[in-house]
């Protein structure tokens, strides 16, 4: 069965720390991997990754895909309390299916 697994499921760090969130997948026909930030309820788009080894950056956030290892990481440097959220990873398959992981709940302590 196709699946997306995120780790850790929850993480508590202090403001200013750097965090690395993991997403691994087992799917039949990979097309793209998506990262979202979910505060309250609406997930907001962070990154789309399709090619291995190419880092995407947006401010303090960055992400990279490793197709050989079937995984992706999301890095957040110099964390702020506003980074507290659930971070969702989703994989889109070529047969037009999307599978989400359970998310990593990140809490930043001031």
Partner 1 sequence: GAGVSQSPRYKVAKRGQDVALRCDPISGHVSLFWYQQALGQGPEFLTYFQNEAQLDKSGLPSDRFFAERPEGSVSTLKIQRTQQEDSAVYLCASSNLSGTSGGAFETQYFGPGTRLLVL
Q: Give the binding site for partner 1 (CB under 8 A).
A: 4, 32, 34, 36, 40-45, 48, 88, 90, 92, 94, 96-98, 100-103
Give whichever of 41 and 68 is closer to partner 1, judged by the CB atom.
41
Q: How far is the CB of 89 from partner 1 (least distance, A)?
A: 8
We find the least distance from the C-beta atom of residue 19 to partner 1, in angstroms, to be 19
DSSP strand E in the chain: where? 3-7, 10-14, 19-26, 30-38, 43-49, 56-58, 61-66, 71-76, 85-93, 97-100, 104-109
């Amino acid at each position: 069965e196709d699946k997306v697994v995120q780790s850790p499921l929850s993480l508590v760090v202090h403001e200013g720390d750097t965090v690395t969130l993991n997403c691994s997948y087992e799917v039949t026909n990979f097309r793209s991997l998506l990262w979202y930030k979910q505060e309250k309820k609406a997930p907001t788009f962070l990154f789309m990754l399709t090619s291995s080894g190419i880092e995407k950056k947006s401010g303090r956030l960055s992400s990279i895909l490793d197709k050989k290892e079937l995984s992706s990481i999301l890095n957040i440097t110099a964390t702020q309390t506003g980074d507290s959220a659930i971070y969702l990873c989703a994989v889109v398959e070529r047969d037009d299916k999307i599978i989400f992981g359970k998310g990593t709940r990140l809490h930043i302590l001031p």
